[in-house]
């Protein structure tokens, strides 16, 4: 019982580890971390710019106070109140000292703000590049999975049995064709085959004669000149000799002796 539970836990943990090591999961985590880092850096940039704007407002306000004290001191001198003018100038010097310190802080804030803006632009460019790279990697991962599946499918395919069946069928067809040709060749040399060939010749000759008579009847061909029919034994022997020569091709035939 304990072993079975342990195997189940190991299988479950292995499945979870496989999920964590999945490239798509890793890419999603990397993109999520980049987005979170970008949000934090943007917040820091906002704080730096806000501080710079506050220092700028303080510089402007202090400069305005310094100018106002200067104007009042001039007016006091015009009115002949030298002590008041002196007091206003002392106060003015204090504000000028504050103004100088504030300007130095403002310069530092401006430099920091520009550096933050540059870093933000570079980070955005890096995130865009990494996002495009992540999309390409995901596509490559998908393609690899498809190729692995296809290769597994091809590895599981067996074609040996079908090839053997095709070869056996081809051999049987070839044997049957050879046997058919042999039987046809043998039938041509038998008496029945010779008679069949003779019947074909007679049929063709009868068709030619019928065609000749039809052409003559329709006036399409000149009628053949009639020749007297002789029943002499010499003419019959000559015609028989010509017929034998035509049938046997002139090989091995011996003309019959005249009676």
pLDDT tier at 15, thresholds 50, 70, 90 = very low
Using a 10 angstrom Cβ sphere, with 0-12 exposed, 13-18 middle and 19 or more buried, the burial of residue 92 is buried
- Residue 253's pLDDT is 45
**What are the pLDDT digits (tens) for 234-256?**
677 777 777 778 777 655 444 44
Using a 10 angstrom Cβ sphere, with 0-12 exposed, 13-18 middle and 19 or more buried, the burial of residue 105 is middle
* Rounded Cα distance, 187 and 110, in Å: 114
* Rounded Cα distance, 66 and 100, in Å: 11
In sequence order, which ranges of the chain are alpha helices (DSSP H)? 2-20, 23-78, 82-156, 160-189, 191-218, 233-248
pLDDT tier at 69, thresholds 50, 70, 90 = very high
- Residue 111's pLDDT is 92
Q: Are 143 and 23 in contact (CB under 8 A)?
A: no
Q: CB-based contacts of 73: which residues, under 8 Å, 6+ apart?
A: 84, 85, 86, 88, 89, 92
Q: Which residue has the tokens 């305005």?
A: 64
Highest mean pLDDT among 16-20, 31-35, 221-225: 31-35
Query: pLDDT higher for 198 or 259?
Result: 198
pLDDT tier at 91, thresholds 50, 70, 90 = very high
For all residues of the chain together, what is the average pLDDT?
76
pTM over 0.85: no
Q: Are 44 and 51 in contact (CB under 8 A)?
A: no
pLDDT tier at 229, thresholds 50, 70, 90 = very low
Can you say how many angstroms the Cα of residue 7 is from the centroid of all Cα atoms in its chain? 42
Highest mean pLDDT among 3-12, 79-88, 120-129, 156-165: 79-88
**What are the pLDDT digits (tens) for 148-158?**
877 777 776 55
- Residue 243's pLDDT is 79
Q: How many CB atoms lie within 10 A of CB 106?
A: 20
Q: Which residue has the tokens 């530092």?
A: 108
């Amino acid at each position: 019982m304990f072993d079975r539970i342990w195997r189940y836990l190991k299988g479950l943990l292995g499945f979870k580890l496989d999920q964590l090591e999945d490239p798509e999961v890793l890419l999603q985590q990397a993109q999520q971390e980049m987005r979170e880092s970008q949000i934090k850096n943007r917040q820091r940039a906002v704080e730096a710019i806000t501080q710079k704007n506050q220092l700028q407002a303080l510089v402007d306000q202090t400069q305005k106070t310094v100018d106002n004290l200067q104007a009042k001191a001039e007016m006091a001198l015009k009115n002949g109140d030298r002590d008041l003018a002196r007091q206003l100038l002392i106060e003015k010097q204090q504000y000028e000292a504050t103004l100088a310190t504030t300007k130095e802080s403002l310069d530092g804030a401006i430099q920091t703000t520009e550096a933050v803006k540059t870093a933000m632009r570079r980070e955005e460019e890096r995130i865009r590049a990494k996002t495009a790279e992540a999309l390409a990697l995901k596509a490559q991962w998908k393609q690899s999975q498809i190729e692995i599946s296809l290769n597994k499918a091809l590895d599981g395919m067996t074609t040996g049995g079908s090839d053997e069946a095709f070869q056996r069928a081809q051999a049987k067809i070839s044997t049957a064709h050879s046997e058919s040709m042999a039987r046809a060749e043998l039938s041509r040399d038998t008496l029945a085959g010779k008679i069949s060939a003779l019947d074909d010749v007679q049929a063709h000759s009868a068709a030619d004669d019928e065609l000749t008579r039809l052409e003559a009847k329709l006036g399409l061909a000149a009628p053949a000149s009639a020749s007297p029919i002789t029943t002499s034994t010499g003419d019959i022997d000559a015609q028989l000799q010509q017929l034998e020569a035509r049938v046997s091709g002139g090989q091995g035939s011996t003309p019959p002796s005249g009676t």
